[in-house]
Amino acid sequence: MPPSDEHSTAADLDRVVELLAGKRIAVLSGAGLSTDSGIPDYRGEGRVVRKPMTFQEFRSDPAKRQRYWAGSHLGWRTFAAAVPNDGHRALAELEREGIVTGVITQNVDGLHLRSGSRRVVEIHGSMDRAVCLTCGQVFSRSDLAATLDRANPWIDEPGSVQLQPDGDVEITDVERFVVPDCSVCGGVLKPDVVFFGEFVPAEKFRESVSIVADADALLVVGSSLTVNSGVRLVDHAVRRKHPVVIVNRGTTRSDRRAAVKLDAGTTETLVALASRLGAVVAGTGTGTGTGEPGMIVG
């Protein structure tokens, strides 16, 4: 980073600390927070623009549902192996110190809860569960993954899966992929996440609004705010005259509404912010690139 950029970033961080010091902070997190845990984001620089499957397609087309589950099953292995990074741990410590009032996350990886955060609203659901669209029965994703492995032993055969340049996977013989039905009623199983074309559950959005209302400021980390639910939460904060701070690589839809926009990485910024606001965070050093192993430094 050129010296002028370093000076600008340091000055912006000073402004963030001055703005947030002594305030109770609500946090809205997005995919940029989990990139240091090895989970790629959706819209980062160089990403191929993808057309996600809609809920209507998933529900109505068995072939598309089969293709979705094949790719999702392989992707689950990456999710299951991911661990929280120092940014997640910094937020958990800020909550223990009473500085952060709660985390609203657009991520479905479960890393906030695994890092020790207690008040977490997974506004788009979680990949560690699956739900039956007919009877509502909820299943553990790890148990379902074991069932899928048994039903599809060929999935690990050489040549059955091709890695694409953008990191996605292509199943070469997807029509062979067996998707189990609900063991309770025989209905269709779906990961317990919000698809495009679905609404965020009303009770989750109400709880998210409550977290924003109970705080004095809103900190957005790692989100481009492309999804309307995030923009609406920024709207709620602005209407209450709560200052909004955005930390994200690249522009967001709400940059002009932020009191401070910091174009920086989330992990290092959260670690520095936690230190400056008085929280002492113990972690593994994941994603910071600085400090002794097992330590986080500001």
Q: Which segments are annotated as binding site for Zn(2+)? A: 132, 135, 182, 185
C-beta separation of 80 from 4 below 8 A? no
d(CA 172, CA 149): 17
d(CA 191, CA 128): 8
Q: Spot the catalytic one: 73, 124, 236, 242.
A: 124
C-beta separation of 244 from 238 below 8 A? yes
Side-chain-side CA neighbours of 214 within 13 Å: the count stands at 16
C-beta separation of 37 from 263 below 8 A? no
d(CA 75, CA 179): 15
Closest CA to 229 of 259, 256, 264, 194: 194
User: Is 124 assigned a catalytic role?
Assistant: yes
Residue found under tokens 């529900």:
59
Enclosing H/E stretch for 147: helix 141-151
Write out the binding residues.
132, 135, 182, 185
Residues acting as catalytic residues: 124
